[in-house]
């Protein structure tokens, strides 16, 4: 099995000729999490082995360090997500799809095409620049054009890198593209002399939510954060506040008339502030309540629907308060903004390196043993995913 080698030693060793790597590739076996039919995530996933073919021009040989599991992956497996992994008929007796949208990998080699050797070195770390490439596997050949190299100058931990490509960019775009809150934007409302800007969000402890809290803090934007109540609510509130949350409320506190929370929130914002943006990954009645707190011409941006119900929004908010309700999906955005994405990823990596953007809490699951054993492990991981919302799970294939 081809192993990772020290970066300095390997640097460019394959860049002038891929022959030496090509010699190896015939023998590299990848272990992958696949499904052949959509269905119950605890039942349809299984471990699968396949041999990697020779690299084509411009392709990169990757060794995956961590493959991230996001809530949307459940929907991908169920077949109810609009973006699907490719159906591969070249890696086994029956067509299968390799799971995994997010992850971090190390470059083990590549086949020159006039570009890749300018941009990449062996030993570099990369994250995914295209959706559903299959990150829940140990090794893969992928086109360089689908990858985002991480800056070697500000090295991230593997956990930081594995959680960088989906949720923080989603937070960044939602704070930038609907109401201009990014101070680098020439029209930024956060510029000196403007009103202090506020954002309200539900599901504030989600991976996107904590990125919103920290980016907003870094950009001088206040946040009002709604979370579900739980036995350890005080701990959660302290945690979010330590990340920079200005205010954290449970949905019950938020909706309670006794607490007079609406007046309190208006006081927090004050006359020198305004709130034009609400971020929603839940749905349900508190979404409309969030919108009622927005100033005229407010924007509601939906990026998830954890409550699995339709958004219920009174017509009067649209007609008289000029509310706009829209949605955000990173996969749509990246298709039309490839270069802007590269720049944003470098900025996000720098924020992570500087400690201003902490990754969400993660837990690494080591996949090991026979295919049957790994298949059993996957079923347990999926069961846990469906039950609750613990730490974000990262898959790692243990070397055999």
Give the residue with the Cβ less far from a second copy, 22 or 306.
306
Cβ proximity to a second copy: between 2 and 72 the closer is: 72
Closest CA to 394 of 359, 358, 351: 359
* 393 bridge partner residues: 363
Element housing 374 (H / E): helix 371-387
Burial environment of residue 199 by CB neighbours within 10 A (0 to 12, 13 to 18, 19 or more): buried
CB of 306 to a second copy, least distance (A): 9
CB of 224 to a second copy, least distance (A): 21
Quick check: 91 and 28 in contact, CB under 8 A? no
- Residues in contact with a second copy, shown as a per-residue x/- string from 241 to 280 under the rule CB under 8 A: ---------------------------------------x
Residue 198 sits at φ, ψ, to 5 deg, of: -130, 155
Q: What is the DSSP letter of 96?
A: B
Least distance from C-beta 283 to a second copy, angstroms? Answer: 6
192 in Cβ contact with 288 (< 8 Å):
no
Give residues 291-350 in contact with a second copy (rule: CB under 8 A): 302-305, 310-329, 332
Nearest approach, Cβ of 266 to a second copy (angstroms)?
Answer: 18
| Closest CB to a second copy among residues 9, 310 | 310
Instruction: Determine the Cα–Cα distance for residues 140 and 143; give it in Å rounded to an integer.
Output: 10
Decide: is 376 part of the binding site for a second copy (CB under 8 A).
Answer: no
Nearest to 66 by CA among 95, 35, 105, 97: 105
Question: Hey, how many other C-beta atoms are within 10 angstroms of the C-beta on 191?
Answer: 12
Residue (58 or 305) nearer to a second copy, CB:
305
Per-residue mark of binding to a second copy, 62-91 (x: CB under 8 A): --------------------x---------
> Minimal distance in Å, beta carbon 76 to a second copy?
13
Task: Give the full edge-to-edge strand order of the sheet including 46-51.
Answer: 46-51, 29-35, 97-98
The answer to whether the beta carbons of residues 108 and 2 sit under 8 Å apart is yes
Q: Judged by CB under 8 A, does residue 283 bind a second copy?
A: yes
CA-closest candidate to residue 19, choices 51, 54, 62: 54
Q: Residues with catalytic annotation? A: 81
Closer residue to a second copy (CB): 87 or 312: 312
- 122 or 301: CB nearest a second copy: 301
Those residues whose C-beta lies under 8 Å from the C-beta of residue 79, and which sit 6 or more positions away, are: 38, 39
Residues that contact a second copy, how many (by CB under 8 A):
29
Q: Cβ 282 to a second copy, closest distance in Å?
A: 9
Q: Which residues bind a second copy (CB under 8 A)?
A: 82, 280, 283, 288, 302-305, 310-329, 332
């Amino acid at each position: 099995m081809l192993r990772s080698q020290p970066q300095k030693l390997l640097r460019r060793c394959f860049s002038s000729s891929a022959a030496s790597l090509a010699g190896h590739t015939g023998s590299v076996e990848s272990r992958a999490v696949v499904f052949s039919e959509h269905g119950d995530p605890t039942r349809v996933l299984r471990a699968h082995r396949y041999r990697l073919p020779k690299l084509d021009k411009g392709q990169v040989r990757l060794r995956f360090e961590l493959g991230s599991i996001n809530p949307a992956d459940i929907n991908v497996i169920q077949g109810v997500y609009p973006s699907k992994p490719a159906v591969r008929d070249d890696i086994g007796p029956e067509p299968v799809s390799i799971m995994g949208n997010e992850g971090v990998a190390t470059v083990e080699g590549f086949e020159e095409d006039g570009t890749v050797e300018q941009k990449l070195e062996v030993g570099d770390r990369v994250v995914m620049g295209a959706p559903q490439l299959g990150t829940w596997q140990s090794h893969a050949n992928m086109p360089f054009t689908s990858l985002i190299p991480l800056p070697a100058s500000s090295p991230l931990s593997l956990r930081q890198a594995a959680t960088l490509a989906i949720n923080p960019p989603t937070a960044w775009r939602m704070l930038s593209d609907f109401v201009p809150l990014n101070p680098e934007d020439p029209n930024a409302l956060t510029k000196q002399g403007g009103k202090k800007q506020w954002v309200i969000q539900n599901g504030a402890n989600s991976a996107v939510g904590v990125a919103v809290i920290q980016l907003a803090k870094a950009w001088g934007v206040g946040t009002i954060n709604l979370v579900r109540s739980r036995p350890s609510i005080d701990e959660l509130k302290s945690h979010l506040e330590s990340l920079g949350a200005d205010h954290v409320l449970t949905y019950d506190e938020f909706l309670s008339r006794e607490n007079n929370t609406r007046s309190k929130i208006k006081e927090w914002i004050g006359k020198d502030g305004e709130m034009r943006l609400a971020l929603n990954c839940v749905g349900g009645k508190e979404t409309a309540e969030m919108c009622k707190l927005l100033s005229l011409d407010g924007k509601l941006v939906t990026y998830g629907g954890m409550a699995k119900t339709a958004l219920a929004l009174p017509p009067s908010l649209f007609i008289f308060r000029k509310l706009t309700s829209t949605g955000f999906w990173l996969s749509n955005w990246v298709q039309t903004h490839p270069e802007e994405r590269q720049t944003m990823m470098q900025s996000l990596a720098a924020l992570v390196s500087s400690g201003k953007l902490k990754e969400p809490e993660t837990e690494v699951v080591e996949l090991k043993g026979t295919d049957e054993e790994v298949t059993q492990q996957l079923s347990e991981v999926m069961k846990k995913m469906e039950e609750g919302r613990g730490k974000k799970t990262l898959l790692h294939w243990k070397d055999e």
